[in-house]
Structure 1
Amino acid sequence: MTATVTPTSTSAAPAASNSPAGPVRSVRKGRSSTIIVTGLLLVVALYFLTPVYWVLVAATKSTEDLFSTNGFWFAPTFSLWDNIARVLSYDDGIFVRWFLNSVLYAGVGALLATYFAAAGGYALAKYEFRGRNLVFGTILGGVLVPGTATALPLFLLFSQLGIANTYWSVLLPSLVSPFGLFLCRIYSQATVDTSLIEAARLDGASELRIFHTIGLRVLTPALVTVFLFQLVGIWNNYFLPLVMLSDTGLYPITLGLNTWLSQVDRLPEFYELTTGGVLLSIIPLSIAMVILQRFWRGGLTEGAVK
């Protein structure tokens, strides 16, 4: 028997390339993308940090230096401590009252809004009942309604109830967070295990106990995210207190500082009060952002991964 050997065509097989051009090209492309992304992030960071830097510099100047020196550099005379002292002592310390009002509105409002959003989102995610999607869609529609559109109807309603120009007129609308409910529902669906809930029910735990001991713990990253968004939103809210409040003793910081700013035309020294007050007003938000940012990042990403 004669063995027949079929010659193998080397032209049909793809030639293996030992050239490092491919990996080098990928590395260069990756470096270029990194440089572009880093540059864009730097531009965005400068866009947001430049106003903060200007406020920091302006708060160290007197009224004369504020208009006679470079706005982005410090004046020869450092007046920061004098300006802060004037802010805290003006009109028997009215700024401190405004500050405490903002802490009440933002702190209590954000805390309760976060709890209600967690309860509503958890219920819509883990309980089956008729009209669940309709309820969720109706609440979610609140995201599309701007706060300025509901301020006047709320004022008319609160006036009839006799709670306009009170703490309740600003605090009650702050307890609703459609975005927070949406986030908590999505996060509950992705992270709260139904079998864990069933096991707790078999052990005799009530629904409220299951929510408080299991649901809230699992939802912690999302809750911190909702709390941070509500805190910033309520702290910076201006239009709702403007419509609801007429007593200066009930003003939050935003409305109080605007009151000072409206008087700078006839009393230029209010420039010093306004810039110093703005600097003090951003300190609580900065502290909250630094402390909660790791939970905030986790809350935005972990809920999308099961």
Structure 2
Amino acid sequence: MSSNFWEELKKPFFVLAPMADVTDIAFRQVVIECGRPDVLYTEFVSAAGLCSEKGRPKLLPHFKFAENEHPIVAQIFGSVPKHFYETAKLIAGLGFDGIDINMGCPDRKVVKQGAGIALCKTPELAAEIIAETKRGAGGLPIAIKTRLGFDKIDLTWIENILKCDIDALTIHLRTMKETSKVLAHWELAGEIAKLAHTYNTIIIGNGDVLTHAEGIQKCEQPGLDGIMIGRGIFSNPWFFNPSVDIHTKTSKERITLLKHHISNFMNLWDPPTGDSATLRNYDTMKRFFKVYIHGFDGAKELRDKLMQTKTPTETLALLK
């Protein structure tokens, strides 16, 4: 039986959220350099794709990680229980510290296949998916990331998950219908934390936390064990290092960090002898330009020029 790292974390702890086309090893290494969170997550990856002979080679690079990233959790999504059993066995063999099942993604393509937050409409299927994941996980702790409900707040959905004897639950404090323009329902955090602890489950809050200090404050009253950070990392790569004031970071430091990220991207997704099946569109890297290139004179003009580049090499040449 593998140890449950969630139980060993000092509280309150911080987690880097799983984000598609964002939290690959290239970006996670940058985050670690700036100030590492207590737990790292991969991007979410399709369980069905990983069970496919054709899809697996394309998707396995998303699960690449380095030794300095432990504890690291692999996140998967889907709607077919047998896929989760097979994928859990694969993940356990790769050396991850835990598995997270995405039951909160609001993306239409994901919801259409009955995955992500759509699973709140089929709680029996969700329970079967959890059971099959546990069966294949070889003792790895199982976590779930979800929302408050589909088109309305539904705490019964949350309790249905908790009844499945999971190790950790991350709750994004919005429904699927609510966008980021609607404030996260932090007023419900205390009630949900109490419910989770009734089932001896680690509970993690998520939504609208934009500073490290705010994350600490969010945990104090409701009884949350930790905070998961998503969008907050886009405005501040040093988010997880409370001793760093981003406003003191010079343009040179920010550009150096971007160059490091681009080099990581090239090594992972665009190696000189790389298999074309694993290459990633460079446009996914461009979304990061604003993460680093802002807050100094001429930043917008430089960003505009960077957005016109078509390859990592071209971007690096412009940054020299």
Higher helix share: 1
TM-score bracket, shorter-length normalisation: under 0.3
**Normalised TM-score (structure 1):** 0.25
**Normalised TM-score (structure 2):** 0.24
Which protein, 1 or 2, shows the higher relative CO under an 8 Å CA cutoff with sep ≥ 6? 1
Higher strand share: 2
